Amino acid sequence: MGEKKNSFDKSKLDWFFVIAWMTLIFIFSAQPATESAAMSGQILQAVQAMIQRILPGRDFDPGWVHFLIRKGAHLFVYAVLGVLTMRALIKSGHFTKHAWFTAFLICILYAAGDEWHQIYVPGRAGQITDVMVDGFGSMGGIFLVLSRNR
């Protein structure tokens, strides 16, 4: 008697997480500028309060902190996408010496599409610099997976 194959391929779950994370990115990118600014403004207030507790009496440029928060969010979100994409490739049997490039290509193309999408969102703009930041985040996530798989 033959062995029954598991009808659920576990790699499909990994790809589900990739698509779910991409959907989350899309939802954040679809927010009009006012909603996006309000969200990052709340984070900025929390960071400012923390800085004041750590460095009381020090002046700092809130615009610079806001910039770092927004770019840090890009790095983090795309690092997670890089991790998820690389893991999905590995688990679906596509772990070759060039799998990292495939994962990066998926992430960077999604980042470019995401920025293009933002052109059509009220008050938002697509920026090539954000695609580059997203690319750095993706590579960080991909290399994290590669370093753990050695």
* The pLDDT of residue 1: 46
Mean pLDDT of the chain: 88
More reliable by pLDDT, 114 or 65: 114
98-109 per-position pLDDT tens digit: 899 999 999 999
pLDDT tier, 144 (very low <50, low <70, confident <90, very high otherwise): very high
Q: What is the pTM of this model?
A: 0.84
Task: Give the separation between CA 93 and CA 89, rounded to whole angstroms.
Answer: 6
Residue in 96, 98, 97, 106 with CA at minimum distance from that of residue 135: 106
> Residue 67: pLDDT above 80?
yes
Task: Give the separation between CA 9 and CA 38, rounded to whole angstroms.
Answer: 41
